[in-house]
Amino acid sequence: MGENVITCPECGYPNDSKLTECENCGANLLIEEQPEADEPIQDEPKSQAPASGKSAQRRTPSGKQKQQPKSEGGKSSTYVRVEGGFITSRIHFWQGVLILLIPVLLTIWMTVAIVDTAPPPPAAAQQIAAPAEGSMPDIEALKQHVNNHPHDTVSVLRLSHALHDANRFREAIPYYKLYLTMVPENPDAIVDLGVCFYSLRQYDSAIVHMERAVSLVPNHQLGNFNLGVVNYSKGSVDEATKWFSRAIEINSGNTIAQNARSILDKIEKGEPIQ
């Protein structure tokens, strides 16, 4: 460089010989006398930090305080070491704070998003799948619910009745049987199962189930009446007469008893029963 150049002892930057501080890093370029080897270097008292900035100061090897270079606006800049010298990254204080806050803000946002998109509890889905009591059930939705929850006795019985009322007797039979494995002594369900077999012209199976219902509850009027119907359809007129008479004895003042009397009158007259 020649005699007109002073190399900075800190960063090695070539400076004009007329300068007293390094243009690159601000280090003192004046050559001072080094103390004797056996004499300790005396620290100079720290200078007062400038009012415009409170960044900490450190010593240079020459014993002088290293002055931080100023960026535009008087704020201290952060230096990053790279091969061949120093470069200024110019990341100010508030920029650093913002960088630190970004991961925190992202974590909060992701937590809120996960809570908002959480699926509803399984109980809500089950309530939707099983139609409300007293409503006209959607058979397919009810069937899916029962298949997923086969121990839900209320829904199993409702599905059995829904299939029965829709004249889907063959489909209703396994659900009645499933229900009766859990509630074996429900005479109404047993009679309804017998009606399904009767509607499929399986008279013997119908009689077996209806007689079981009557054995559990002898005064089950509908069970007695239906045994009369099944036996008459099978051709057992005498047996049918016995069951119709029994139904009238249980309660002679209701519609079931009136129907039983009408059938008995036709049997006595030899008229066909529709």
The yes-or-no verdict on residue 131 having pLDDT over 80 is: no
User: For residue 115, what pLDDT is reported?
Assistant: 45
229: in domain: no
**Which amino acid, one-letter code, is at 191?**
V
Contact indicator for 187, 220 with CB cutoff of 8 Å: yes
Contact indicator for 78, 89 with CB cutoff of 8 Å: yes
- The whole-angstrom separation of Cα 215 and Cα 211 is 6
238: in domain: no
The yes-or-no verdict on residue 14 having pLDDT over 80 is: yes
2: in domain: yes
Task: Write out pLDDT tens, residues 143-183.
Answer: 999 999 999 999 999 999 999 999 999 999 999 999 999 99
Mean pLDDT of the residues in the chain? 74
165: in domain: no
* Of 84 and 111, the one with more pLDDT: 111
* Of 233 and 86, the one with more pLDDT: 233
- The whole-angstrom separation of Cα 244 and Cα 256 is 9
Whole-model pTM: value is: 0.52
87: in domain: yes
266: in domain: no
8: in domain: yes
Domain range enclosing 12: 1-27+75-91
The yes-or-no verdict on residue 87 having pLDDT over 50 is: no
- The whole-angstrom separation of Cα 91 and Cα 103 is 18
Other Cβ atoms closer than 10 A to 219: 12
Residue 94: pLDDT band (50, 70, 90) is low
How large a percentage of the chain has pLDDT more than 70? 64
254, two tokens: 């209701």
69: in domain: no
Contact indicator for 15, 22 with CB cutoff of 8 Å: yes
- The whole-angstrom separation of Cα 27 and Cα 165 is 99
3-state secondary structure 138-198: CHHHHHHHHHHCCCCHHHHHHHHHHHHHCCCHHHHHHHHHHHHHHCCCCHHHHHHHHHHHH
- Structural domain count of the chain: 1
User: For residue 97, what pLDDT is reported?
Assistant: 65
Least confident stretch, 7-11, 94-98, 117-121, 185-189: 117-121
65, two tokens: 């305080």
